[in-house]
């Protein structure tokens, strides 16, 4: 998942106070939408990924933070997104080189990366490693150097293993070497011992999707470019895909959410993501404007039209976000409350409302605690 590069340069939100987001009961000033909050979970302040494609780390770690808050831990903790980024780059590069350049390499990643880091390397607080953040994160120059290195290696007939030292040297120069030991609240930790003390266990989480080109109630490798390590997800029918998500939130859990945000019905500025019933070109200019100010009928989402959108590349693995709550509008339709990582600059303080049809249509997958899955469904999934 990579960020949309036009959402850059937004102000950083330094506060890390834990809170259940006090959402405005409309999506923006002047809107006729009237929301009732059904459930809202604790989360830390909205962060800003800046000019980087690291939404997968920001959303995944925001999810972990809410997991800690749910269990009564980490009340003033801000986990380091860049620690995960720093640990994944060498693995992505090694995979690319071993595949002779026939694999994906870049800033993007997915929730399996967050779980891999937690399991293999641990986690650290932001105070221990900030990735040399100045006013905002910008990895463009670093990425250009790294891509040039691995591309030449992928095309080479022979490779000197010393390339890994050079690769890590670039990372160290731009974002620093990740700490092997650090102090936090008067105690000494390694990243592994810190994660263990927090009580986070990568085996507690699963990633779920819904596509009919693979059998339901099985696992498959999700075919998106940023799934560079070919990790598997659980596959369930669409009605159960949305059911698990809604019930999880209502029962006190949150979701790390991967989705396409390129649709005309997605507007972070307007605090709303919807699926208009008609094609965008079939609306007048006035009707298009009213879509973000007045509830309108949305497209009926089926397993088939969801699948078609994935197969024809209309749905891609664009962006990672964090679902922290559920609301309904005045017509009784449900919307997920979504925490973004583009700064707290829109009318919802960096959050937005995403309709359940949008979620059903444009999601690629989500990560959730196994305990949030209804027992009967978990059994069918083999969990």
Query: For position 193, which CATH number holds?
Result: 3.90.70.10
State the total domains in the chain: 1
Closest CA to 359 of 299, 313, 304: 299
Query: Which pLDDT belongs to residue 21?
Result: 64
Determine, yes or no, domain membership for 5: no
Separation of alpha carbons 254 and 268, rounded Å = 20
Determine, yes or no, domain membership for 11: no
Closest CA to 123 of 170, 185, 168, 182: 182
Determine, yes or no, domain membership for 311: yes
Per-residue pLDDT band for 117 (boundaries 50, 70, 90) equals very high
Specify the 3-state DSSP secondary structure of 194.
helix
Q: Which two tokens stand for residue 261?
A: 């945000």
Query: Which pLDDT belongs to residue 2?
Result: 53
Separation of alpha carbons 17 and 74, rounded Å = 11
Closest CA to 336 of 239, 238, 237, 255: 255
Query: Which pLDDT belongs to residue 80?
Result: 97
Specify the 3-state DSSP secondary structure of 182.
strand
Res 15 pLDDT > 60: no
Determine, yes or no, domain membership for 105: yes
Determine, yes or no, domain membership for 13: no
Query: Which pLDDT belongs to residue 133?
Result: 79
Q: Which residues lie closer than 8 Å to 40 by C-beta, 6 or more apart? A: 20, 21, 23, 324, 325, 337
Biggest CA-to-CA distance, the chain = 64
Per-residue pLDDT band for 298 (boundaries 50, 70, 90) equals very high
Q: What is the mean pLDDT of the chain?
A: 93
Determine, yes or no, domain membership for 1: no
Determine, yes or no, domain membership for 9: no
335's enclosing H/E stretch is: strand 334-339
More confident residue, 254 or 9: 254
Determine, yes or no, domain membership for 216: yes
Range of the domain at 124: 19-381
Res 88 pLDDT > 70: yes
């Amino acid at each position: 998942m990579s960020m949309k590069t036009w959402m850059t340069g937004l102000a950083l939100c330094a506060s890390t106070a834990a809170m259940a987001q006090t959402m405005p009961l409309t999506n923006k000033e002047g809107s006729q939408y009237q929301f009732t909050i059904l459930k809202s979970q604790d989360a830390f302040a909205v962060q800003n990924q800046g000019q980087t494609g690291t939404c997968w780390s920001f959303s995944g770690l925001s999810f972990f933070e809410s997991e800690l808050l749910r269990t009564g831990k980490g009340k003033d903790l801000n986990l380091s997104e860049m620690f995960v980024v720093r640990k994944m780059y060498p693995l992505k590069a090694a995979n690319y080189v071993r595949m002779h350049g026939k694999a994906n390499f870049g800033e993007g990643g997915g929730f399996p990366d967050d779980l891999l880091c937690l399991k293999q390397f641990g986690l650290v607080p932001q105070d221990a490693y900030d990735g040399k953040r100045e006013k905002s994160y910008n990895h463009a120059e670093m990425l250009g150097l790294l891509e040039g290195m691995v591309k030449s290696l992928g095309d080479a007939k022979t490779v000197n293993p010393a390339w890994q030292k050079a690769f890590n040297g670039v990372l160290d120069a731009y974002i620093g070497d990740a700490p092997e030991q650090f102090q936090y609240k008067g105690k000494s930790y390694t990243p592994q011992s810190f994660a263990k003390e927090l009580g986070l266990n990568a085996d507690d989480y699963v990633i779920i999707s819904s596509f009919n080109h693979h059998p339901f109630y099985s696992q498959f490798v999700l075919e998106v470019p940023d799934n560079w390590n070919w990790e598997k997800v659980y596959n369930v029918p669409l009605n159960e895909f949305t059911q698990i998500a809604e019930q999880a939130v209502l029962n006190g859990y949150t979701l790390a959410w991967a989705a396409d945000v390129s649709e005309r019905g997605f507007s972070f500025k307007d605090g709303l993501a919807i699926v208009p019933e008609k094609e965008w070109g079939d609306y007048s200019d006035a009707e298009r404007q009213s879509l973000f100010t007045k509830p309108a009928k949305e497209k009926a989402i089926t397993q088939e039209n969801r699948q078609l959108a994935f197969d024809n590349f209309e749905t891609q693995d664009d962006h990672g976000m964090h679902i922290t709550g559920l609301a309904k509008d005045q017509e009784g339709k449900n919307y997920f409350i979504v925490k973004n990582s583009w700064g707290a600059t829109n009318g919802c303080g960096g959050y937005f409302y995403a309709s359940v049809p949008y979620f059903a249509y444009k999601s690629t997958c989500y990560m959730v605690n196994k305990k949030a899955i209804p027992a009967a469904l978990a059994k069918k999934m083999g969990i």
